[in-house]
Amino acid sequence: MSLSFGHIEIPVTDPQRSLRFYRDVLGFGVEQVQGERYVWLTSGAVTVLLHPDLRPGDTEANLVLYTHTLDDEVARLRAAGVSLTREGTCVSFADPDGNRFQLVDPGDDHSGG
């Protein structure tokens, strides 16, 4: 098994406004801004993605696990009885309490473009 927490996704409506808040008010470091939409921040050892395609209250995954052996992990989770949904290079699932996770290979392109 080779899973690790990758990043936390925070739903935002205005990525640039949120960037200023998290950077200037909270003091997060800016790791990368992709196309003025996807803002990657750091706070200590934690990576945060300000995600404009999610909205507060969405049922999308906000906790993302990384693996470099995606297909192996998918097979292992399925064998353990976990219900998975795959969309492109992203795999979603829930824990027994309904908390949503996304499983990705950090080396894959997840930009959708």
pLDDT tens figures, 61-79: 578 888 999 999 999 999 9
Is residue 96 predicted with pLDDT exceeding 80? Answer: no
Within-domain flag for 48: yes
Residue 112 lies in a domain: no
Q: How confident is the model at residue 97 (pLDDT cuts 50, 70, 90)?
A: low
What radius of gyration do the chain's Cα atoms show?
15
67 found inside a domain: yes
pLDDT score at 95:
77
Q: Which two tokens stand for residue 66?
A: 């990384």
Name the token pair of 67. 């693996």
Residue with tokens 């990705």: 104
The answer as to whether 110 is a domain residue is: no
> Could you give the CA distance from residue 40 to residue 29 in angstroms, rounded to a whole number?
9
* Per-residue tokens: 33: 């801004």
103 contacts 65 by C-beta, under 8 angstroms: yes
Q: What is the CATH number of the domain that holds 25?
A: 3.10.180.10
Domain count, the chain: 1
Categorize the per-residue pLDDT at 58 as very low, low, confident or very high, splitting at 50, 70 and 90: low
Q: Which domain does 59 fall in, by range?
A: 4-104
Report the alpha-carbon distance of residue 51 to residue 14 in Å, rounded.
Answer: 9
With respect to residue 113, please indicate whether it lies within any of the assigned structural domains.
no
